[in-house]
Amino acid sequence: MPYLNFKGKKIYYQLKENNVASSQNKGLIFIHGSGSTSLIWQNQIDGLNLDYKLIAVDLPSHGNSDKFLISEITLDLYVNVIEKLKESLKLEKIISCGHSLGGAIILSYYLKNPNDIESLILCATGARLRTSPVIFQQLTDDYKQYLNYIRQTAFHRKTPKSITDTYREQLSKVDPQVIYNDFKICDGFDIMQELKLIQVPCLILCGDSDVLTPTKYSQYFHTNIKDSQLHILQQAGHMVMLEKPQLVNQYIQEFTETL
């Protein structure tokens, strides 16, 4: 399995070369949300056929990546990991795709390193990501209740149980303190006044039934980012890449062909 060496610890990532010549060094980096892992992007890694290297990261203390102290896990740490990954893979052109918390990470990366980014894919995320107190309470008092709550609120009611059960199982393997910290990062994130600084093409994807990052968040992106396109996927919740993988892949494929 490929790992990035980051400050003496290992950060796991999936890598699919696709059609990219080694001299081109173009990458599409997928970044998961709170408590998730790179596995949420499996349908994209397997299904997309692009002239980019496809990379999906397990953030520190998630999935197959090494554990970090809770005090070390910050938005800056997550951004620094992506910076180091770009450097390690010698990527020259990057499309960054972030889901939920991952959206906060790629937006923060762009504002820090605008020349690194060719385009952004904002997937079920927002310029501000306030978190319900219910989530913090459940993560503190009853982790199983939280897992059931997320399974119910993150998906459209018609999403097959096999998909929601698999996601719940993946989520259950992450330390609840890490998930709590992820949501604290989300809760403090707010770049609503900085969206005018985004000067690259943006693809915005969201589910019509998303209660965690409602469609108004994506519509706000579309209104305030000049070069953007918005797709609201029907009968989908927060986990659009799992619920509607073929449509998500179609929109990503079409978007990259315009770059």
Q: Is the pLDDT of residue 23 over 60?
A: no
235: left (phi over 0), alpha (psi -120 to 50) or beta: left
Backbone angles phi, psi at 177, to 5 degrees: -65, -35
Quote the mean pLDDT of the chain: 96
Locate 79 and state its tokens: 């951004």
pLDDT given at position 1: 75
- Look at the chain and report how many structural domains it folds into: 1
CA 152 distance to own-chain centroid: 20
Q: With bands split at pLDDT 50, 70 and 90, how would you rate the model's confidence at 93?
A: confident
Q: With bands split at pLDDT 50, 70 and 90, how would you rate the model's confidence at 21?
A: low
Kindly state the average pLDDT of the residues 70-81. Answer: 98
Locate 171 and state its tokens: 């989520």
Residues 179, 34 contacting (CB under 8 angstroms): yes
pLDDT given at position 160: 96
Q: Is the pLDDT of residue 123 over 90?
A: yes
Q: Is the pLDDT of residue 206 over 80?
A: yes
Q: With bands split at pLDDT 50, 70 and 90, how would you rate the model's confidence at 61?
A: very high
Domain ranges, residue 46: 3-257
Q: What is the pLDDT of residues 160-178, one digit of tens each?
A: 999 999 999 999 999 999 9
Residues 117, 147 contacting (CB under 8 angstroms): no
The whole-angstrom separation of Cα 22 and Cα 162 is 38
Kindly state the average pLDDT of the residues 104-131. Answer: 98
Q: Is the pLDDT of residue 18 over 90?
A: no
Instruction: List the CATH number of the domain containing 174.
Output: 3.40.50.1820
pLDDT given at position 19: 67
